[in-house]
Chains A and B, each alone.
Chain A
């Protein structure tokens, strides 16, 4: 059974079908790439999966539980954690306190959250800024911090919305290495990215969306080479 799956999800904004009859499945332990042109509905899909939007139709299943319409808090408690395309960190407390808060919110004891936070800052090479207020971090450092906050208590699934965008190549490599190491421990990911080399490198499988619909899915290479995907990326989808 898939760890996470959707059936016929639909979300309309006015006349726009941001997510249109979308059915996907995420297998336990995989890194699923979610790609598609700008405005194809990737973030909207993640918003539904993480409970920030209720779908107009369709359903979401986490293992054998129907979780459609549950609140973000209920879903986070079930281990569905997401990272936002636009960083959301707590700007007026230190980066370290951000990490601690994430741990406490996942139910860790304070001492445990502290030692895990220290380890994460080392792994992400952020130790030199850990006591700065998060609002004083650079854009890339904030991304890395929010990324790390998802893993202080390993989630069932990490939904990452363009974690690499606007991040320095060295830090990208740090993130990619982190993802690989967690993947080796069995962590499941959904990874949204416009960076095809990274998608090819990290993801065994990929789903491509266009105008809210899934236009291709399967082994990453095959998806990237499929005619529908190439056409969508070349921008000739305007007539659809």
Chain B
């Protein structure tokens, strides 16, 4: 059940502004995490959860804002990571070029994938992106001459200490949020929402669906590619495991639990789900079962996710 809101607060700009402010508040909170988090191990967990927050934001741009249910975010993280790693391995390209190259490369690949699935919707689109993701992973894993296969590749690091990485990931998160906020506030974002709700209707209004869909694909994949590239330099090892479908499953559960079609939801969802999955590591392979069940429950009973619930409660309180 969605709540009924017939006030100016329900206008897209107002919803978006409130959402953006909340997402910045979460980031601000994360800035102070080093005051309480001290062990390198816990820092590692925080950094990886921000990596997932970036993937979640990237996937949400496609699925939550544009209505394109892609199953390839993890594959694009892998491709971004490999772009940087391969440039280093074969050509000794410095990271200052290797990381932008990952953004560019995944943007181009995302654009191509967007063209391929242009006329597809629903399950057909999902299955095609899934095939792409699996093919990419298998090709990377089997091109042993070129990629060293499952052994993976070593990548140079950007910082020796984890604090440096932590704040780098936070900065990238803020930059991504600002970019998404500005886009969603503009014509482009409104056209994405229109395409999500009714692509044929959007076309009839004169919205260039082809152009805006491929743009969303390109940008979403570039965000995932950048996240993957940075993650590679952080862990100093990239392997095809980055592109496992299970990683995409995690990303989807993060967005659905946090709140699809929002900025705050994916970040909060990523934090909660990743921390929970680390915690559940001690109990063996039950994570995916728990998260799948959570996704089903949220999809059934709480479509708007945790952020939807929170903003509903804030709205209730805000009334005179």
Residues of chain A at the chain B interface (Cβ within 8 Å): 50, 52, 71-73, 76-77, 81-82, 84, 88-94, 96-97, 100-102, 104-106, 110, 128-129, 131-136, 149
Contact = CB atoms under 8 A, between A and B. Distances in A.
Interface of B: 2, 4-12, 187, 190-191, 193-194, 196-198, 200-209, 261
A132 B5 contact: yes
Contact of B12 (A93, A106, A128): A93
B201 A90 contact: yes
A195 to B, nearest CB: 23
11 contacts: A52-B204, A76-B203, A84-B204, A91-B198, A92-B261, A93-B197, A97-B12, A106-B206, A131-B5, A132-B10, A136-B2
A92 B191 CA distance: 13
Given A131-B7, A131-B9, 8 more contacts: A81-B206, A89-B201, A90-B194, A94-B10, A101-B193, A105-B191, A105-B206, A133-B2
Contacts of A128: 6
Contacts of A71: 203
A84 B201 contact: yes
Contacts of A93: 12, 193-194, 197
A91 B2 CA distance: 12
Contacts of A106: 205-206
A72 B205 CA distance: 8
A94 B204 contact: no
Contacts of B207: 73, 101, 105
B263 to A, nearest CB: 16
B166 to A, nearest CB: 35
B198 A88 contact: yes
Contact of B205 (A52, A97, A102, A133): A102
Interface of B is mostly: helix
Nearest to B13: A97
A43 B9 CA distance: 38
Contact of A72 (B6, B8, B204): B204
A96 to B, nearest CB: 6
Contacts of A90: 193-194, 196-198, 201-202
B191 A94 contact: no
A112 to B, nearest CB: 13
Contacts of B11: 94, 96-97, 131
A50 B193 contact: no
A137 to B, nearest CB: 11
Contacts of A100: 190
Contacts of A82: 204
A136 B9 CA distance: 16
A50 B200 CA distance: 12
Contacts of A105: 191, 194, 202, 205-207
B190 A104 contact: yes
Contacts of B205: 76, 81, 101-102, 105-106, 149
Contact of A89 (B5, B6, B7, B198): B198
A77 B187 CA distance: 16
Contacts of B7: 131
A164 to B, nearest CB: 19
B88 to A, nearest CB: 43
A150 to B, nearest CB: 9
B4 A136 contact: yes
Given A92-B261, A101-B191, A129 B204 contact: no
Nearest to A155: B206
A79 to B, nearest CB: 9
Contacts of A72: 203-204, 206
B204 A76 contact: yes
A119 to B, nearest CB: 17
Contacts of B261: 92
B194 A101 contact: yes
A235 B209 CA distance: 41
Contacts of B200: 52, 88
